[in-house]
Amino acid sequence: MGRLNRIISGLFFLLLCLNNAYSDEALTWQDCVVEAYNNHPDLISAAEDVKQARADKSITLSTALPQIKSTLSKSRSGGSGATDTKDSYSYGLTVSQLLFDGFKTINDLSEASETLRAAEYEYSIVSSNVRLSLKKAFFALLKAQELIGITEDIAQRRKQNLELVKLRYEAGREHEGSMLTAQADLAQAEFEVEQAKRSKRLAQRQLMKELGRDIFLPVSVIGDFNVDDKVLDMPDFDYLADNTPLVNKLIAKQKAAKFGLESAKSDFMPEISLNGSWGKSDSGWPPDPESWSAGLSVSLSLFEGGSKIAGVTKARSQFEQACADVKSQRDSVVYSLEETWMDFQDAMDNVLVKKKYLEAYVARAKIANAQYSTGLISFDDWIIIEDNLVSYKKAFLDSQTEMMIAEAVWVQTKGGVLMYEK
């Protein structure tokens, strides 16, 4: 008997493990944020762009630092005779330090700094876009989960309605058209249950993509349809626009173009460097005679075929273009901010309206169901009320989802990043 109990306990434990293995992984919004932050390929790519811009800045800075090179060589020379062969050895150090280049290096370094800043703002833009896509995927799955429950409730209600119509039909108090309509309504409801289940799998697939996962696994999400960034009073859209990553990125690119123009102008200035060398060379190893040199060098390009003039013209055009881009994009951002804020307000108000309609149709359906069962209203009047109830159950869920997406778009337009907190 004891052995049988152990076998049963082992089987129960095995079934429990299998059930856990095949059950959906439950994720909160914060779970999704953390995973996407670490794994989303767009964020990884944007982070690498920042690293490259930081490296470019270091490369630019290196030109202002001392340049030190060491040399070591051995050579053999000879003539026509075998005894004419001669070996020579040398080693030494050369040092050069840029003293003045018309502030070109300073401008190049400033341009690299602004380019780095632009890359960092671009990372924030990508993060903001990822947050929006993740939010859409999260609430698409939450909606799909809720829709399965709603459609199953509707199917159960349609089944009960059919049974009621069938009783009245068999009693001779309802015609065949009503019976067929009730059967068709049930078939439609059952179809929508299966459709909702298929939609859930597609929503799971989309969420997997936004999380950066390589392998599809069934997941579910834990959340509600309550907004966090509720802004009822009209905000200062100009202030918000000036603090968005997009506008700041373009401003950084504008500053970089300005420094690039100054750098191009610096090409017309002389370059002054301090140079020094020390070394030894001899026909034997180790070489003994020592030599050294130190001095200043000044170089100035007199003619290069007009390339420097063309470089300045190009740099000035790039700066003017960057200025125009800032003006254009800032105006667009201000408009988008007001538009998305208004859409968000409309979406919140729409939820309240849909909720009131749903409450009304729930009450009407309850009354109409009792009236139809006692013959006080016709099938046509009753089924209209039932259809309205079904429609507004779905419409209310749609309005809730639209509200959450409208909030996400509003946050994205403001530049809210993946780890955004109000």
Radius of gyration of the chain (CA): 37
Q: Is 241 in contact with 333 (CB distance < 8 Å)? A: yes
In degrees to the nearest 10, what's the CA dihedral of 45, 51, 55, 61?
A: 130
Q: Is the pLDDT of residue 343 over 90?
A: yes
pLDDT for 290 equals: 79
List the strands of the sheet with 290-299, edge to edge.
67-77, 86-100, 271-282, 290-299
Q: Which distant-in-sequence residues (6+ apart) come within 8 Å of 361 by Cβ? A: 385, 388, 389, 392
Taking only the tens place, the pLDDT of each residue in 197-215 is: 999 999 999 999 999 998 9
Output DSSP code: residue 288: -
Residue 46 belongs to some domain of the structure = yes
3-state DSSP assignment of residue 56: helix
- DSSP letters, 72-105, are EEEEEE--SSGGG-EEEEEEEEEEEEEEESTTHH
3-state DSSP assignment of residue 298: strand
**DSSP H or E segment with residue 274:** strand 271-282
By DSSP bridging, strand 25-27 and strand 290-299 are unpaired
Q: pTM score, two decimals?
A: 0.84
Residue 82 belongs to some domain of the structure = no
What pLDDT band is residue 182 in, cutting at 50, 70 and 90? Answer: very high
Residues 119 and 249: their CA atoms lie apart, in Å, by 8
Taking only the tens place, the pLDDT of each residue in 49-102 is: 999 999 999 999 998 889 889 988 888 777 665 566 777 888 888 989 888 888
Torsions phi, psi for 293 (to 5 deg)? -155, 155
Residue 227 belongs to some domain of the structure = yes
Taking only the tens place, the pLDDT of each residue in 105-149 is: 899 999 999 999 999 999 999 999 999 999 999 999 999 999 999
- Lowest pLDDT segment from 16-30, 78-92, 253-267, 329-343: 16-30
Q: For the chain, give me the number of helices (H) and strands (E)? A: 9, 6
What pLDDT band is residue 252 in, cutting at 50, 70 and 90? Answer: very high
Residues 245 and 128: their CA atoms lie apart, in Å, by 9
Residue 420 belongs to some domain of the structure = no
pLDDT for 232 equals: 82
Q: Is the pLDDT of residue 180 over 90?
A: yes
Residue 161 belongs to some domain of the structure = yes
- DSSP letters, 217-228, are --EEE---S--S
Say what percent of the chain tops pLDDT 70.
93
What pLDDT band is residue 291 in, cutting at 50, 70 and 90? Answer: confident
Q: Is 241 in contact with 299 (CB distance < 8 Å)? A: no
Q: Which distant-in-sequence residues (6+ apart) come within 8 Å of 303 by Cβ? A: none
Give the type of residue at 328: S
- Highest average pLDDT, of 1-5, 73-77, 281-285, comes from 73-77
pLDDT for 19 equals: 45
Residue 20 belongs to some domain of the structure = no
Number of domains in the chain: 1
Name the residue range of residue 384's domain.
Answer: 25-69+87-414
Residues 309 and 315: their CA atoms lie apart, in Å, by 10
Residue 79 belongs to some domain of the structure = no
Q: Check which CATH number belongs to the domain holding 202 and give it.
A: 1.20.1600.10
Q: Is the pLDDT of residue 194 over 70?
A: yes
Q: Is 412 in contact with 421 (CB distance < 8 Å)? A: no
Question: Which residue bears the tokens 């026509």?
Answer: 80
Quote the mean pLDDT of the chain: 89
Residue 18 belongs to some domain of the structure = no
